[in-house]
Chain A
Amino acid sequence: MAKILLEMRDITKTFPGVKALSNVNLKVEEGEIHALVGENGAGKSTLMNVLSGIYPYGSYEGDIVYDGEVCKFNKIKDSEAKGIVIIHQELALIPYMTIAENMFLGNERGSKFHINWKETNDLSAEYLKMVGLKEQPQVLIKDIGVGKQQLVEIAKAMAKKARLLILDEPTASLNEDDSKSLLDLLLKFKKEGLTSIIISHKLNEVSYVADKITVIRDGCTIETLTKGVDDISENRIIKGMVGREIEDRFPKREKHIGDIKMEIKNWTVHHPVNFERKVVDDVSINVRKGEIIGIAGLMGAGRTELAMSIFGKSYGESISGHIFIDGKEVHIHSVKDAIAHKLAYVTEDRKGNGLILSNTIKINNSLANLKGISKHSVINRDEEYAAAVDYKQKLAIKCPTVEQNVGNLSGGNMQKVLLAKWMFTDPEILILDEPTRGIDVGAKYEIYLIMNQLVAEGKSVIMISSEMPEILGMCDRIYIMNEGKIVGELDASEASQEVIMSHIIKAG
Chain B
Amino acid sequence: MNKKKVLEFIKKYTMVIVLVLVFGMFAITTKGDILLPANISNIISQNAYVFILATGMLLCILTGGNIDLSVGSVVCFVGAVGAKLMVEAGFNMYLSILIMLITGTAIGAFQAFWIAYVRIPPFIVTLAGMLAFRGLSNVVLNGMTVSLRDQKEFVNLFGGGANCYISDIFGFEDINGLCLIVGITVAALFVFFQFKNRVTKIKKNYEVESAISFWIKTGIIAVTIIAFAFKLAQNKGIPTVLIWVFIVILFYGYITSNTTVGRAFYAVGGNEKATKLSGINTNRVYFMAYTNMGFLSALAAMVTIARLTSAQPTYGQNYEMDAIASCFIGGASAYGGIGTVPGVIIGAILMGVINMGMSLMSVDANWQKVVKGAVLLAAVVFDVVSKRGKLLALD
Mask: chain B, 255-279; 1 = CB below 8 Å from A; 0 = not: 0001111010011001101111111
CA distance A354 to B337 in the complex (A): 15
> B224 an interface residue at 8 Å Cβ cutoff?
no
The 5 nearest A-B residue pairs measured at CB: A356-B270, A368-B278, A335-B279, A370-B260, A336-B279
Chain B residues with Cβ below 8 Å from A370 are 260, 263, 280
> A502 an interface residue at 8 Å Cβ cutoff?
no
* B338 & A358 in contact (Cβ 8 Å cutoff): yes
> A12 an interface residue at 8 Å Cβ cutoff?
no
Chain B residues with Cβ below 8 Å from A311 are 277
Mask: chain A, 350-367; 1 = CB below 8 Å from B; 0 = not: 001111111100010001
Contact of A347 among B206, B261, B270, B277 (CB under 8 A): B277
* A378 & B259 in contact (Cβ 8 Å cutoff): yes
Mask: chain B, 272-307; 1 = CB below 8 Å from A; 0 = not: 011111111100000000000000000000000000
Chain A residues with Cβ below 8 Å from B277 are 311, 314, 335, 345, 347, 353-354
CA distance A353 to B263 in the complex (A): 17
Chain A residues with Cβ below 8 Å from B278 are 335, 367-368, 421
> B207 an interface residue at 8 Å Cβ cutoff?
yes
> B217 an interface residue at 8 Å Cβ cutoff?
no
Min distance, Cβ A446 to any Cβ of chain B, angstroms:
22
> A136 an interface residue at 8 Å Cβ cutoff?
no
> B3 an interface residue at 8 Å Cβ cutoff?
no
Also in contact, A377 and B204, with CB within 8 A (given A339-B279, A353-B274, A368-B279):
no
Chain B residues with Cβ below 8 Å from A312 are 279
Of residues A312, A352, A354, A367, which shows the largest number of chain B Cβ atoms within 10 Å of its Cβ? A367
Q: How large is the interface on A (under 10, 10 to 19, 20 to 34, 35 or more residues)?
A: 20 to 34
In chain B between 189 and 246, which residues have their CB closer than 8 angstroms to a CB of chain A? 200, 204, 206-207
Min distance, Cβ A455 to any Cβ of chain B, angstroms:
23
Chain A residues with Cβ below 8 Å from B275 are 356, 367
Contact of B260 among A334, A357, A379, A385 (CB under 8 A): A379
Chain A residues with Cβ below 8 Å from B260 are 370-371, 374, 377-379
CA distance A345 to B273 in the complex (A): 13
* A367 & B274 in contact (Cβ 8 Å cutoff): yes
* B263 & A379 in contact (Cβ 8 Å cutoff): yes
CA distance A347 to B278 in the complex (A): 11
* B271 & A379 in contact (Cβ 8 Å cutoff): no
* A401 & B276 in contact (Cβ 8 Å cutoff): no
Min distance, Cβ A76 to any Cβ of chain B, angstroms:
13
> A293 an interface residue at 8 Å Cβ cutoff?
no
Chain A residues with Cβ below 8 Å from B279 are 312, 334-336, 338-339, 368
Also in contact, A358 and B270, with CB within 8 A (given A335-B278, A345-B277, A353-B277):
yes
Chain A residues with Cβ below 8 Å from B281 are 334, 336
Also in contact, A378 and B258, with CB within 8 A (given A345-B277, A353-B277, A358-B337):
yes
Of residues A314, A345, A356, which shows the largest number of chain B Cβ atoms within 10 Å of its Cβ? A356
Contact of B273 among A336, A352, A357, A421 (CB under 8 A): A352
